[in-house]
Structure 1
Amino acid sequence: MNQWLESAKTVVLNLLILISFVLTSALWNNQPQFQVIEPSAYVKSKPVPTRKMEELVTPESIMFHYGNDRHTKTYTNNGNFYYRQISEEMKKWYFTNPVSYPLTEEMWEELMHKRQGLELMFHSEVPMTVISQLFMINGDINDQMKGIDRLWLYYDEEENVVYALFISTNDKQVFRAGTAISPKDLLEYYLPLGNRLPEQIMKATRTTTDSEYPRLKRPFWEIYYLPKEPQKITKYLYNYLLVTEDELIDAYFLDPSLVRRIDERDRTVIFTDGSRSIQFQQDQQFITYTDPAFQQGRQDLSSDEKIRDAIAFINKHLGWTDDYRFDRIRESEEGGEVITFRQYLGPYPLVSVNGQHLDTITVMSEDGQIVTINRSLIDLDKYISNQEWVVMSGPELFEYLRNNRIVDTSQIKNAYLAYQAQVHQGYVELTPAWVVEVRNQPDIVVTARSAQEGGKGNGLE
């Protein structure tokens, strides 16, 4: 019996060994077919043009004052030779000990009509914290002055020095500072640059500084300039490119695969990932981006930090499709800030008509967080037609406004040349225009073509 059990064990053991060899052979000769997993294809994002604050915050024009009521003007676009010369010098300017400096009636008269100097004019008020980033200023002025819209250098003959006036038209404030600019630099280098530029007529309206105490009120003159003679500006028709839906989604959403499209009955199109959204009308080339998700923002930001944050956001989200400049910063009704950048063509700003919103990028922020941005989808490409116009001088503009009873010219606080932008099917029309700013009224836009040219008459838009 035992012998039979031993024989059975031997047979079973040999069978197991045989099965083991068979399985080993099968595994050895039948290796699994591994599938090579290709890495995901990386699609490089289209590069976008970026900007720095120092590139976007620039004066709109420079006035050269020669005394004896003589003034000339140059615009500050980068291609302008005169501006390039002055801007190189601006990097060296140094201002010291700024102090409040209310001007008397006599001091205003001397400054406007007699003194030689150089005046940098901004389109609107620029916060003082931003000005302090653009120029070297030794002294505490940021807490005493919110911002300025002009920086006026003038030569004091009695002291043989050059002073700088920081002027705020909004707050009717004037601060004076010493400068490192020598009289020789101002009189023999800066002023000769503008000697052959178009002459301007100074327009000035007398007001008073804001004070609840009459005895503390001081005269304050609101000043702007108009060309003495007609000048030539080119009217353009521009082809344009549109930002595509894919570019929009890539620019504003972290994960494009989560974005869905919603088409409303009123032809509104919405792209959303459940948090952020882009909204636009199908017949309008203009978007509103909204990010309502609250994130821990930075408190007590200075104006220059808020502007830098807005610029950084635009740099990362679609960039600057055309030439823009800082326009203004203001408080919103909700308590945040609204920061506007305006589009330019050469030296002239664009102004839109019929609510087309071609002319600006507007950023709204709250507690340091960007919550909304409004911008055009149109990118000017190449001009397809151009026509040189002779545009109205300052005297002709005022005569036109009076004769057509458009506005009381004594209530005008500023007037400047611009391009009126109108979008048509397949092209954008850029027409030279006068923008007239009137106290307590909306701006008036007037076609700038001079009647003396013998062409199409002027028109109120």
Structure 2
Amino acid sequence: MIERAKTTLLVLLVGLSLLQSYLLAYSMPGLGATVKTEQDYINAEPLGEEASVEDVVFPEELVIHFGGDKHTVLYPGSTFYDMILKERIQGREFKGFQRNPVNVLNWDEVRRNDIGVELRFHNGIPVDLLKKLLKVQGDLLFLNETIDRIWIFKTKDTEDVRTFFFTADGEKVYESAQADLTVRDVQDYVGFGEYQTKYTVTADGIYLPDKPMQSVEMVFPYEVYSPDLMQRNLFFDPGTTKALEDRNGSQIFTDGKRGLQVEQNGKWITYTNPAASQSKDNLLGDNVYASVEFINEHGGWDGVHRFVNASPDKDGKAAKTIMFQQYLNNYPVIETRNFQYGTIRLTLQQGTVTDYTRSLITLADKAKSRQARWLPGGDDLLKALEKYERRSEAVRVFPALQAQPMEDNELRFVPVWGVLLKDGTNDVLLQAYPAGYTPPKTEDETMAPPDGKAADSAGGKESADASVDAGANENAVSGKSGGSGKTASTDGGGSALNKTGTAAGLNAGTMKIKLGGNAALPR
């Protein structure tokens, strides 16, 4: 009797043990973990558009060299920038890299005498990101470099085409001995820039146009993501957050660890997520991938942005600050001291975002109004640069747009000449001429064929014809993805989109270029 009782008890214990093992293995209700992790963000309704790393990696400018110390500069979004980069360079292979000291050639003489094109990336771009733009193959030594210029040129009086990749530390160049490029390719690059405004280069390498450049002033309606929406999107447990208000009237949300500060009347946020400092550095490319993914999940993208290497480090590592600059109507938007708009910045520790600043403004698809404005060139621009109080720190001058807030949820974008400083910051060098100003035609322009029309669309979904004088810089299509395709054609010297002539690589007769809603920027 006792033995039978022991047997029965043993069977019950074994059965309970098996039941408990089953429940633990399959996490039956009531027995699972109830603590949320930091990955359990509550993703609210979708915000802006998503992007990939390929969408944010492209050169800040292309410099075309004609020989005879003549040059021009093409900016992201212009038709010929797109044609050279996407149709003539991106499909080619670059391999067989040979390392040389930077003084292997006299680059001043190459700039003056040899025809070619430069692709420029301020502060450099790691080769692992560059591979998202170009077909690059190299050894481990080259793949660990950071590149700030790619120079393709045909040597004077020979049929040799040479391609050099310059490292951001300014000490080395890598020549691609097996670049898939021909003399005809280089001649085509030069032909595409033949009718663009010519530039003069200063002693310290800053390119300035010889005459005024046409741009467009625009007014855009906008909407604003609500602070509550961003709170729900950024905090993994919004129910535990508290809302505060500081002395300046800014809203602050915090869950005891993370913080979200809403400034500028609800139009700008700073999100912080403190993390322990890591002694081990991670690659800049890894941080860029992590940043793009984070933005996709927490706010999205309003239009086209370009990755800007904000780190002064030249080794491609430990880049904690990642910046993306917004483009509108082919031009970068630069911030002002009184109104923050146009950049997204992130700080990372080992792939974790610890700081995140951005605007909550999202622009309408179409501009409310548009007005042609001219940016100074020639002596006016040169004198402004010479008198600039931080002239010794200037490394680049470029056309840009400055955002100015208006009433009724509208932003005015005013054309300006921006200046890039050594510390990576941008400033306004010179404002556009007053509205209604038209520069006098030169003798060459008076003899040029009649002016035509150029596609000039902001937001990628709006078409508007802008008269472009011969030789003026072209305004092409840019802005949000998904816009309808438009046809751009321009007679005369403006952008030579519909030009009867003999530019290298262009067939004589009429050439029309079909542009998609985002075709002008590498998307």
Q: TM-score, normalised by structure 1?
A: 0.75
1:317 aligned to which of 294, 298, 302: 298
* Partner Cα distance (1:359, 1:91) in 2: 28
| Paired amino acid for 1:325 | R
* Partner Cα distance (1:154, 1:288) in 2: 45
Kept in 2, the 8 Å contact 1:392–1:450? The answer is yes
* Partner Cα distance (1:135, 1:43) in 2: 34
* Partner Cα distance (1:285, 1:441) in 2: 24
Larger radius of gyration: 1
Q: Structure 1: 5+ residue runs without aligned partners? A: 1-41, 206-222, 456-461
| Paired amino acid for 1:330 | S
For 2:230, the equivalent position in structure 1 comes to 248
* Partner Cα distance (1:86, 1:442) in 2: 26
SS at 1:134 equivalent: coil
Question: Which protein has greater RCO, CA pairs closer than 8 Å, 6+ apart?
Answer: 2
| Paired amino acid for 2:193 | G
For 1:76, the equivalent position in structure 2 comes to 76
Kept in 2, the 8 Å contact 1:230–1:450? The answer is no
User: Which structure is higher in strand share?
Assistant: 1
* Partner Cα distance (2:65, 2:180) in 1: 16
For 1:327, the equivalent position in structure 2 comes to 308
For 2:269, the equivalent position in structure 1 comes to 287
Query: How far did 1:396 drift?
Result: 1.8
* Partner Cα distance (2:98, 2:331) in 1: 34
For 1:259, the equivalent position in structure 2 comes to 241
For 2:350, the equivalent position in structure 1 comes to 367
**1:172 and 1:398, CA in 2 relative to 1: closer, same or farther beyond 3 A?**
farther
Cα root mean square deviation, aligned: 3.3
Kept in 2, the 8 Å contact 1:364–1:372? The answer is yes
Kept in 2, the 8 Å contact 1:95–1:138? The answer is yes
SS at 1:431 equivalent: strand
**1:167 and 1:331, CA in 2 relative to 1: closer, same or farther beyond 3 A?**
closer
Identical-residue share of aligned pairs (%): 26
* Partner Cα distance (2:91, 2:426) in 1: 37
Query: How far did 1:139 drift?
Result: 2.4
| Paired amino acid for 1:56 | V
Query: How far did 1:370 drift?
Result: 1.1
* Partner Cα distance (1:44, 1:316) in 2: 10
For 1:24, the equivalent position in structure 2 comes to none
- 1:388 has 2:378 as partner: no
Query: How far did 1:416 drift?
Result: 1.3
For 1:268, the equivalent position in structure 2 comes to 250
Query: How far did 1:439 drift?
Result: 6.1
- 1:342 has 2:325 as partner: yes
| Paired amino acid for 2:323 | T
Query: How far did 1:112 drift?
Result: 0.8
* Partner Cα distance (1:110, 1:276) in 2: 55
- 1:55 has 2:55 as partner: yes
Query: How far did 1:190 drift?
Result: 3.0
| Paired amino acid for 1:435 | G
Query: How far did 1:240 drift?
Result: 1.6
* Partner Cα distance (1:99, 1:105) in 2: 12
Query: How far did 1:137 drift?
Result: 2.8
Q: Structure 2: 5+ residue runs without aligned partners? A: 1-41, 439-523
Kept in 1, the 8 Å contact 2:150–2:165? The answer is yes
* Partner Cα distance (1:300, 1:57) in 2: 22
- 1:127 has 2:126 as partner: yes
* Partner Cα distance (2:288, 2:342) in 1: 18
Query: How far did 1:358 drift?
Result: 0.7
For 2:151, the equivalent position in structure 1 comes to 152
Matches of residues 48-447 of structure 1 in structure 2 within 5 Å? 48-77=48-77, 80=79, 82-102=81-101, 104=103, 107-140=106-139, 142=141, 146-156=145-155, 160-168=159-167, 170-205=169-204, 223-281=205-263, 283=265, 285-292=267-274, 300-330=281-311, 337-381=320-364, 382-402=366-386, 405-407=387-389, 412-425=394-407, 426-437=409-420, 444-447=427-430
Query: How far did 1:168 drift?
Result: 4.0
* Partner Cα distance (1:409, 1:47) in 2: 41
* Partner Cα distance (2:433, 2:400) in 1: 15
Query: How far did 1:178 drift?
Result: 1.9
106-115 vs 170-179, which moves further:
170-179
Query: How far did 1:170 drift?
Result: 4.9
Kept in 1, the 8 Å contact 2:62–2:81? The answer is no
* Partner Cα distance (1:51, 1:316) in 2: 10
Kept in 2, the 8 Å contact 1:227–1:394? The answer is yes
Kept in 2, the 8 Å contact 1:288–1:374? The answer is yes
* Partner Cα distance (2:305, 2:173) in 1: 29
For 2:480, the equivalent position in structure 1 comes to none
Kept in 1, the 8 Å contact 2:395–2:422? The answer is yes
SS at 1:388 equivalent: strand
| Paired amino acid for 1:283 | N
| Paired amino acid for 2:210 | K
Query: How far did 1:243 drift?
Result: 0.8
**1:165 and 1:141, CA in 2 relative to 1: closer, same or farther beyond 3 A?**
farther
**1:266 and 1:43, CA in 2 relative to 1: closer, same or farther beyond 3 A?**
closer
* Partner Cα distance (1:309, 1:56) in 2: 13
| Paired amino acid for 1:413 | V
* Partner Cα distance (2:424, 2:328) in 1: 26
Q: TM-score, normalised by structure 2?
A: 0.66
**1:442 and 1:372, CA in 2 relative to 1: closer, same or farther beyond 3 A?**
closer
**1:68 and 1:357, CA in 2 relative to 1: closer, same or farther beyond 3 A?**
same
* Partner Cα distance (1:111, 1:44) in 2: 55
Kept in 2, the 8 Å contact 1:278–1:287? The answer is yes
SS at 1:349 equivalent: strand
For 1:449, the equivalent position in structure 2 comes to 432
Query: How far did 1:182 drift?
Result: 3.2
Query: How far did 1:187 drift?
Result: 3.7
